[in-house]
Structure 1
Amino acid sequence: MRPILIALCALALSACRADESLTAYGGAGAWQLVRLDGNPYEARATIAFGPEGTVTGQGACNGYGATQTAPYPWFELTEMLSTQMACAALAEEQQFFNALTKMTLAEVSGEVLILSNDAGESMEFTPLPGG
């Protein structure tokens, strides 16, 4: 009986993992996009990281949600959905969404969140005031 109990305890301990999400490494809360590929981003775009990989945000026209599935420092959004409203800044919003889906790495450095990929593309975020 004792070997079975030891095996079950070992199995339970192996299932316990530290939080390896972006949230655990300083990414918690809401961020606003300030630079896209090194250029100032003039439209409004936000991203917020919540518990268990939840991601929400607001583009220039539409709200969105997704799941961040990769452990830090990798970045991968899945199950991304957004509302479908039009506005004058729809082209800028589409640029934001297209860039967001291409990002593969995340780095939190103080008051800056940088999403990037191997192609040299990047998105720089700062904390959203009040977020």
Structure 2
Amino acid sequence: MFKRRSVVTAAALAATFTLAACADDTPKTAVAGIPMGDYVMVGMGNGTVPLRNITMRVNETSISGVGPCNGYGAKNAAELPAMQLTNFTSTEVACKDLELENRVFQALQQATEMDFYGGVLRVKGPTWLIFERGLPASMAGGNVVDQARGNQ
């Protein structure tokens, strides 16, 4: 009797662990070769963005970030690497860089796909946006030297 109960218990535990492995609730670190996380915009079209004051956080089914004036967010109705942003929302604060920000927001809404190649995230559409991993030093909680030192 004891052996039979042990076999049944072991089988039940194996089935439970198998089902638990299928239900992966942990956030993914990459989807379709695109690392999830924070990025800062460094290029738009054929130009550079020297102020690095536009960010994007890439999640499996959404993006969000801040521009020079406003925060934004949207759902991605497509499966990465494809993009089809829906429910794009932003705060509505005016500033001197609102024209640039509006161009970036429009480019994001028209984007059709993204890829990660050569250490940069490329958001492709009529106007390409180029992002590097990380956040600007002003948002990352310290300067680059402090970040390199860590907790030393």
TM-score by length of 1: 0.73
**Structure 1 residue corresponding to 2:102, chosen from 90, 94, 117:** 94
Confirm or deny that 1:59 pairs with 2:70: no
Percent identical among aligned pairs is: 28
TM-score by length of 2: 0.64
C-alpha distance in 1, partners of 2:112/2:34?
17
Any conservation in 2 of the 1:31–1:47 contact (CA below 8 Å)?
yes
Name the residue aligned to 2:122.
Answer: 114
**Structure 2 residue corresponding to 1:48, chosen from 57, 61, 68:** 57
SS of residue in 2 equivalent to 1:34: strand
**Structure 2 residue corresponding to 1:126, chosen from 129, 132, 147:** 132
Structure 2 residue runs of 5 or longer lacking an equivalent are 1-21, 141-152
**Structure 2 residue corresponding to 1:38, chosen from 46, 54, 62:** 46
More relative contact order, 1 or 2 (CA 8 Å, 6+ apart)? 1
After TM superposition, the runs of 4+ consecutive aligned structure 1 residues lying more than 6 A away are: none
The two structures, once aligned, show a CA RMSD in angstroms of 2.7
Structure 1 residue runs of 5 or longer lacking an equivalent are 1-15
Q: Radius of gyration: which is bigger?
A: 2
Paired positions, count: 112
